[in-house]
Amino acid sequence: MSGQSFPMLFSPLALRGIELRNRIVSTGHQTWLSSGNQPSDDMIAYHAARARGGAGLIITESARFHESAFSSYPDLHIASDAAIPAYARLAAAVHEHGARVFGQLSHAGRVSRRMHDGMRGVAFAPSAVAENRFHTMPRAMPGEMVEELIAAAGNAARRYAEAGFDGVELLASHGLLFAQFLNPRVNLRTDRFGGSAENRLRFLAESLAAARRLGGSSIVLGIRISVDEIEPGGLTRDEAAAACAALKDAGAIDYVNVTVGSMAGLGGSVHVVPPMEVPTAYVAPQAGALRERVGAPVLVTGRINQPQIAEQVLTAGLADLCGMTRAMIADPDMAEKARSGRLDDIRACIGCNQACIGHFHAGASISCIQHPRTGRERRFPERPPQAAIRRRVLVVGGGPAGMKAAATAAERGHEVTLCEAAARLGGQALLAQLLPDRAEFGGLVTNLERELSASGVAVRLGQRVDRAMVEALAPDAVVLATGALPARPDLELDAQAHVVDGADVLTGKARPGGRVLVADWRCDWTGIGLAGHLARRGHGVCLAVNGTHAGQNLPIYLHNHLIGVLHGLGIEVVPYARLFGADGDTAYLTHIVTGAPILREGIDTVVLAAPPAPDTALETELSGLDVEIRLAGDCLSPRSAEEAVYEGYLAGLSL
């Protein structure tokens, strides 16, 4: 298959006199790669990699265009002409590789903490209507301030144009400021910016007009809008569609970027970056309805992670462009691989959200658990450099860490053998994919298996390694990626207690009784997944969490979504609870703050989501052997697949 197999995806599209070489878009997303609130060399390298990889359009992340939106966070700013040179370097880098580049203008309004030096600043919005995520009560914008923002939007568009950007996109999505003005439940104003639908549209319409006037007649103008905010009191489908139609009829916009969800509440926020639990291309039908009503070119986002899916969306007439942002976070060369028919080589995004939006919420710059080079383009080479001397490398362990180490070492030109004691590669990822709605996580294994095959690694399954084998093989270097082993906490149990490991529940080795308590030490996917797995099979489930809440260690959007799933399944959640012991029908817990006892009676089985222990047996056995040894992944310390892949990559690069 080649680009000919995707005739719509790889057809050009003209927008206001500029031509996009294909329909693949990297949509605006926070990278936190700025420096001094301007595009940095790291940000430029990040976007250039995706342009070089074949994207048709790069939309850079939201830039604040007025000081009322500034905070201590490393957001982009474009409120001063001093920013133009940095944006110009970014535009030139994208254009060098044949892609077009648009810039975003955003103001959070009430959906913000506006932190400065550890203190909350004043958030401005159309009206003093509280929001339900950051618990912000904003101050109503004076009319003079609204006029000032309109002028600021126009000047920001001018700066983008002077920097060489091809287009500007205003964010009326996810409950942000432009959307707040459109929403009659949030905009309670009685001046010319509130009341009627025409008045509520005025702020956005006049901002677009200012952008056209100052940015020039040739620059492409569009809006990003949530066609359904999926939040109580949020912008509705009819309201969003009516606003888009009015702007299109007035000639104010050249395209509409369609999404769903809202940052103003916990329920709608999961749709900002929908995880694997959400179906692929799920926004496309709503985008198609809006496209038919409005008559403007439509860009749609929302879990379009494969070129086949994008082609289906385009062929069905649901959109004109497809946002494939995370697909290119996972594989910057996705577009070119699809165009040239190398579909098996595409490192497909699995929607885990750990290192993209997960890093953002942790205050770190963007990356990908499958592709450590993402966000680190200037630190790591595009291709692992060839080693000066070809060496024989033995990798022990076929989980994500071992697989990545083996593939990377082989790419460097070494002769690599990977030994895995089990009958399959994948390690803990094979268990993770058994959790409810997380089968896509198995794509991590599929992608790594392809890397092993392409790099020529010799794989031995069902092969346990000991010191004698290492001595017989006499490798020049050994990478130990032996993972972790199940470990039970010290509990007080009587003979009647039925306590089983979560892994055994998932694989069918253990059969829990009708009423189950899941003891969740990990506070991640495991405990929530086990609870959901059992509830869906008719068990009564109590989830006891050794933390402040279920999913405490998960990305924010995801744990909010999964807590909603638990509620829908009728699962009792007991936070601040650590398992102490069990007997035949009672689980004994202690409150992790006060030490007070917590009892749950009528429990048939306790299922453990307990901390595993590093498997260091072979490391100890090889002590004193004259061979270079590297360690990677859970055998160092049990963590997640991200650390495993990253450390495997570093181990392979170091050889």
Q: Which of 112, 222, 137, 231 is nearest to 172 (CA)?
A: 222
Given 338, 361, 384, the domain boundary residue is: 361
CB count in 10 Å sphere of residue 216: 12
pTM: 0.96
Query: pLDDT category, 166, cuts 50, 70, 90?
Result: very high
The predicted pLDDT at position 514 comes to 97
- Identify whether residues 549 and 578 lie together within a single domain: yes
- Identify whether residues 38 and 63 lie together within a single domain: yes
**Is 366 inside a domain boundary?**
no
Give the C-alpha separation, 32 to 294, whole Å. 34
Give CA torsion, residues 349, 351, 356, 361, to 10 deg.
180
- In this model, does residue 227 exceed pLDDT 80? yes
**Is 531 inside a domain boundary?**
yes
- Identify whether residues 272 and 140 lie together within a single domain: yes
- Identify whether residues 475 and 624 lie together within a single domain: yes
- Identify whether residues 593 and 630 lie together within a single domain: no
- The average pLDDT across 471-495 equals 95
- Identify whether residues 647 and 577 lie together within a single domain: no
Instruction: Give the model confidence (pLDDT) of 500-519 as tens digits.
Output: 999 999 999 999 999 999 99
- Identify whether residues 465 and 521 lie together within a single domain: no
- Identify whether residues 131 and 24 lie together within a single domain: yes
- Identify whether residues 565 and 622 lie together within a single domain: no
Query: pLDDT category, 466, cuts 50, 70, 90?
Result: very high
- Identify whether residues 463 and 551 lie together within a single domain: no
Q: Which domain holds residue 521?
A: 492-611
Given 361, 384, 402, the domain boundary residue is: 361
- CATH at residue 501: 3.50.50.60
**Is 528 inside a domain boundary?**
yes
The predicted pLDDT at position 3 comes to 61
Q: Bridge partners of 223? A: 170, 256
- Identify whether residues 499 and 562 lie together within a single domain: yes
- In this model, does residue 414 exceed pLDDT 70? yes
- Identify whether residues 137 and 85 lie together within a single domain: yes
**Is 16 inside a domain boundary?**
yes
- CATH at residue 630: 3.40.50.720
- The average pLDDT across 172-187 equals 98
- The average pLDDT across 345-363 equals 95
**Is 382 inside a domain boundary?**
no
The predicted pLDDT at position 118 comes to 86
Yes or no: say if 444 and 400 are a contact pair by the CB < 8 Å rule: yes
- CATH at residue 131: 3.20.20.70
Count how many domains the chain has.
3
The predicted pLDDT at position 117 comes to 83
Query: pLDDT category, 116, cuts 50, 70, 90?
Result: confident
Q: What is the DSSP letter of 554?
A: S
Mean pLDDT over the full length of the chain? 96
- In this model, does residue 2 exceed pLDDT 70? no
Yes or no: say if 194 and 46 are a contact pair by the CB < 8 Å rule: no
Query: pLDDT category, 115, cuts 50, 70, 90?
Result: confident
**Is 385 inside a domain boundary?**
no
Percent residues over pLDDT 90 in the chain:
95
Instruction: Give the model confidence (pLDDT) of 568-589 as tens digits.
Output: 999 999 999 999 999 999 999 9
Yes or no: say if 298 and 320 are a contact pair by the CB < 8 Å rule: yes
**Is 368 inside a domain boundary?**
no
Query: pLDDT category, 1, cuts 50, 70, 90?
Result: very low
**Is 260 inside a domain boundary?**
yes
